[in-house]
Amino acid sequence: MSGEVEIYRDGSIARLVFDHATRRNAITSAMWEAIPEAVRLLQEDDDIRVVVMRGAGSEAFVSGADISEFEKTRTGDTGRRYDEMTARAFAALQSLDKPLIALIHGFCIGGGAALSLTADLRYAADDARFAVPPARLGLGYHTAGIQALIRTVGVPATADLLFTARRIGAEEARRIGLVNQVFAKDALDGAVDELARTIADNAPLTLRSAKMTLQELTRPEAERDTARIQASIERCYQSEDFKEGVRAFLEKRRPNFMGR
């Protein structure tokens, strides 16, 4: 089996699942190619407010790219095409304007770690294991991947992960900022579901504005689109949801946000 990228909808929450259980959810070429279309569907579905990204089962988030394909996909011209394909997948996930949560069981290695870095929030089971191992394969690691690591854990921790290619446990990942929080394995799914529903209850326009602003603020100051940030803030103030939020506060009830 080549593996699948699946979407499951549960009200305002969607689950984006990497399913290649026979190989610990290793990502095949077909799966990389499927990611942009899956993201497009999630982006265009206005009923979806939060996306939870995970691997099938509880053995692995993603154990990496499927190395069994490498002799065919990562040499010469095919290697460049493979890199372009994975770049499109990462760019699609990064372009999603809805909150994206990574739910991480077990192995989160190589391409799996890179996929997790496209999420806004990362929550791990206590059995999670992380590594960035291109040095063990003789691969060059692309600038975008290194930049994503630096933004998340800083230069010293990035150098450690790249130079040693060692695996680290969930608690060390939390200490260096690679994950937000660690849960007991049997508690992780429920905790992330509760968090996702808490986020989904909030105003969608505010969530999108906040996510976009966070992304802009990670850019060098000269490259930030401050006009875009201001426009998103003004849209929130002009929205029906802002009126509903104020009314709900005054009436001491939960707001019913509609995303407009």
Structural domain contains residue 153: yes
- Is residue 33's pLDDT more than 70? yes
CA 8 remoteness from chain centre = 16
Q: Are residues 234 and 158 in the same domain?
A: no
Task: Tokens 């803030």: give the residue.
Answer: 233
DSSP label at residue 22: G
User: Is there a contact between 83 and 42 (Cβ–Cβ < 8 Å)?
Assistant: no
Q: Are residues 116 and 178 in the same domain?
A: yes
Instruction: Using alpha carbons, list the distances in angstroms from residue 9 to 17, 37, 122, 192.
Output: 11, 16, 20, 15
| Sheet with 181-183, edge to edge strand ranges | 4-10, 13-19, 50-55, 100-104, 121-125, 181-183
Number of domains in the chain: 2
The closest alpha carbon to 35, from 80, 100, 120, 79, belongs to 100
Q: Are residues 30 and 144 in the same domain?
A: yes
pLDDT tens-place string over residues 126-143: 999 999 998 988 888 888
- Is residue 79's pLDDT more than 90? no
pLDDT tens-place string over residues 83-127: 889 999 999 999 999 999 999 999 999 999 999 999 999 999 999
Query: Which residues, in sequence order, are CB contacts of 5 under 8 Å at separation 6+?
Result: 16, 17, 18, 19, 31, 34, 35, 38
Structural domain contains residue 257: no
Structural domain contains residue 260: no
User: Which alpha helices (DSSP H) does the chain contain, by range?
Assistant: 29-44, 70-73, 76-95, 111-116, 143-153, 155-164, 170-176, 185-200, 204-217, 226-237, 240-250
Q: Are residues 65 and 110 in the same domain?
A: yes
Structural domain contains residue 185: yes
Query: Which residues, in sequence order, are CB contacts of 115 under 8 Å at separation 6+?
Result: 18, 27, 53, 61, 62, 90, 93, 102
Q: Are residues 209 and 149 in the same domain?
A: no
pLDDT at 66: 81
Q: Which residue range is the domain that position 130 belongs to?
A: 4-199
SS3 content of the chain, % helix, strand, coil (to 5): 55, 20, 30
